[in-house]
Amino acid sequence: MTESAADYDVAVVGAGPTGLALANLLAAQDVRVVLIDPNKIVCQHPRASHLDDETMRTFQQFGLSEAQQGYLVMDGYQIMNQDGKLLFSWEISDGETDQAWLSDYMFFQPDFEAALRGRLATSKNVDLLLGWDLVDLADDGTAVTLDVRQRRSDAEKSVTAAFVVGCDGANSFVRQRLAPDLVDFDGDERSLIIDVVKFKPAAGLSETIGTIVSGTRPFTHMPIVAPMSRFEFMLLADEDRETYEDPAMVYSLLEPWMEPGSYRITRSDVYLWHACVAAKWRVGRVLLAGDAAHQMPPMLGQGMCSGIRDAANLAWKLALVLRGTAGDGLLDSYEPERAPHVREMVVESTRLAKNIAALGQGQAPPKEADGEVADKAHPPIEPAIGGDADLPMAGQLAPQPRLRDGRRLDDAVGFVFTLLAPGEVLGGVDESTRQRWKRMGVVPVRVEDLEPSDWLDTHQVTGILVRPDRYVFAGFRSAEELETVTRHLSVSVFEEEIQQ
């Protein structure tokens, strides 16, 4: 993409969901990518299992729309006591959200990762170094040199990249070399994770509803995709890991719900959940994303989803910088936009984990302070681009309407800046504004060509300018305001000088 002497534009370290999503989004924008991961094949048991409508919208960008046919659609969640009495439940709407996807899905991570690895293997813009460990990296200010070693042969070589993104998980090597400090939210919890393939349904547990069972041994049951389920049993501080990983203990814990011999265990180990956010997400040409940048207990199902948001936020910014159409300073907006957003998720998931632990010990759940509870319905980001202007609706997640022919909007426009406005407003701007749209790759769409929606009216705007990551850059109410918004975009992102 660039005239850089580096071997690659971006080196993505780590081929989990975040790294695979980022590599696919970059490759689709003609960015030269090398993907480095120690595992030659995907891990055969899932770590993540839940995704939401916003995540599905990102998957849509790299051709995984049809994959949702193999996902499990969730009907809701419930909390029961250990005697099976229902304490609380909430249903999930069975219709599409404003993101043009269903609200919640469960999926099988190994198949997802295999599909994305395959797409990258056939991309002209990507080289795969699978089965290779990153052993060192050095940023000289113009490029980053990465030293890698093949696990099978111990062969060593070096590659260079204009930028490096560490997506290498909770024990990130890149983070350790970049900036190892973490902000800890005091949410460490241990759980015994048991994944099973069921030969028949579990007694008293729904196949489409996530269940939390309180009691002296709190646990969750989450159906993944039939016939798989995940059980997570919370461990107390003084309980021994080896005791609970013993097969006899596993059978004993599952016996109230499933008879031994009615399932096959595919995973059984104690996992330590952390609640933390990296103190620094960028140093020079090296950045962090996904679990390398943040970790949380699983109660919200937002760990992987947050990593996918990192990838979507970073991919378009890296592409613009590498093209030379935006300055390097655009990357400084990444952490300010993503860190506060994910911090809310970490705090809320930690609160829920402590509530479940308190219920299990017969205690009242701790009360949250004002403002502590996260907005689980797509909280806005705090936009770090747009200058000092007070731009209406900036940072809100934009909807994805369908066109009148039934297509989803993103399928028609791609991973670009998009304008949604009435034809009269789009047609009322001056020629200099139209030329700016062309230079910046902005795609205008008339609301008359979309299926009817009251979303714009509800937010008291006539139209919106949407970023590639689907967050609103600004709303506007007239052609004159649209001209002003366009100038703000050209100055704050593309660093154009506006002549008065």
What pTM value is reported for the model? 0.94
Both 230 and 310 in one domain: the answer is: no
| Residue 264 located in a structural domain | yes
Both 200 and 262 in one domain: the answer is: yes
Rounded CA separation 268/244 (Å): 9
Give the H or E element holding residue 310: helix 303-323
Domain enclosing residue 228, as ranges: 189-273
Contact 316, 323 (CB under 8 A): no
Both 195 and 322 in one domain: the answer is: no
| Residue 384 located in a structural domain | no
| Number of Cβ within a 10 Å radius of residue 395 | 19
Both 30 and 146 in one domain: the answer is: yes
Both 417 and 488 in one domain: the answer is: yes
Both 14 and 122 in one domain: the answer is: yes
How far is residue 300 from each of residues 94, 143, 368, 479, measured CA to CA in Å?
19, 38, 16, 41
Reported as half-sphere exposure (CB side, CA atoms, 13 A), residue 370 has a value of 0
| Residue 383 located in a structural domain | no
Both 268 and 136 in one domain: the answer is: no
What is the residue whose two structure tokens read 């919208």? 57
| Residue 86 located in a structural domain | no
Instruction: Per-residue pLDDT tens, the chain, 500 aa: give them.
Output: 665 789 999 999 999 999 999 999 999 999 999 999 999 999 988 999 999 999 999 999 988 888 888 899 989 988 888 777 888 888 888 899 999 999 999 999 999 999 999 999 999 999 999 999 999 999 999 999 999 999 999 999 999 999 999 999 999 999 999 899 999 999 888 999 999 999 998 888 889 999 988 777 888 999 999 999 999 998 888 899 999 999 999 999 999 989 999 999 999 999 998 999 999 999 999 999 999 999 999 888 899 999 999 999 999 999 999 999 999 999 999 999 999 999 999 999 888 887 776 665 555 555 544 434 434 568 899 999 976 678 999 999 999 999 999 999 999 999 999 999 999 999 999 999 999 999 999 999 999 999 999 999 999 999 999 999 999 999 999 999 999 999 999 999 998 766 55
